[in-house]
Amino acid sequence: MDWGDFIDTVRDDWPEILIAVQEHLYLSFISILIGILISVPAGIIISRLKKIAEFVIGITAVFQTIPSLALFGFLLPVLGIGTTPAIIALTVYALLPILRNTYTGIIGVDESLIQAGKGMGMTSNQILWKIELPLALPIIMAGIRTATVLTIGVATLATFIAAGGLGDIIYRGLSTINNELVLAGAIPAALLAILFDAILRGIEKMVTPKGLK
């Protein structure tokens, strides 16, 4: 392995790497977005229905235990190849951390605050929006952060069902035994994960209510 070769590879394949990064971000973002849209409301709902909460979280935990490559394999006969099945698989992975954190965040809100809000004449909607969600937000954000880092990593496998992303470059490097090319895919993937982790950590701090810091 020669850093000079690596830089040459990056230079030569720059347009492809850029496209792969774009595809990678697209896959990850859409999946996380859908994951948030499903998990946050689901987390809120199961925080109201504690009896089924463990069950629902259990299901998402089962999904989480399926090896990522195998999950892409499972979806292949059902949904075929391409971006859509990849997004579905990645979304499934993003569900658990967000769902679990939303649930824990909300049920973790001090019961006496809910009682106070209710006793003061807040509706359950007002209690949700003005008390529960603001106080649970840092924990929900931490879940989103975990999901994001996870998804950016797993998204490298989307190449196996022809969904593109940085996995394409890594896979191409592996099959041609070109280490420089493998790194030209792997390093941006790692950088993306680190970058978004940092950005989201910043957001997490920002949304932490001032009185709780």
Which residues in this chain contact other proteins in the complex, by CB under 8 A?
A: 110, 112-113, 115-123, 126, 130-131, 134-135, 209-212
What's the CA gap between 11 and 186, in Å, rounded?
15
Q: Are 197 and 149 in contact (CB under 8 A)?
A: yes
As measured in angstroms, the least distance from the Cβ of 211 to other proteins is 3
Q: Closer CB to other proteins, residue 20 or residue 131? A: 131
Q: Closer CB to other proteins, residue 4 or residue 210? A: 210
Q: Closer CB to other proteins, residue 123 or residue 176? A: 123
Q: Closer CB to other proteins, residue 61 or residue 114? A: 114
As measured in angstroms, the least distance from the Cβ of 110 to other proteins is 7
89, 41, 100, 31: CA torsion to nearest 10? 20
As measured in angstroms, the least distance from the Cβ of 179 to other proteins is 51
What's the CA gap between 92 and 36, in Å, rounded?
11
As measured in angstroms, the least distance from the Cβ of 97 to other proteins is 23
Decide: residue 73, CB within 10 A, 0-12 exposed, 13-18 middle, 19+ buried.
middle
Report DSSP state, residue 127: I
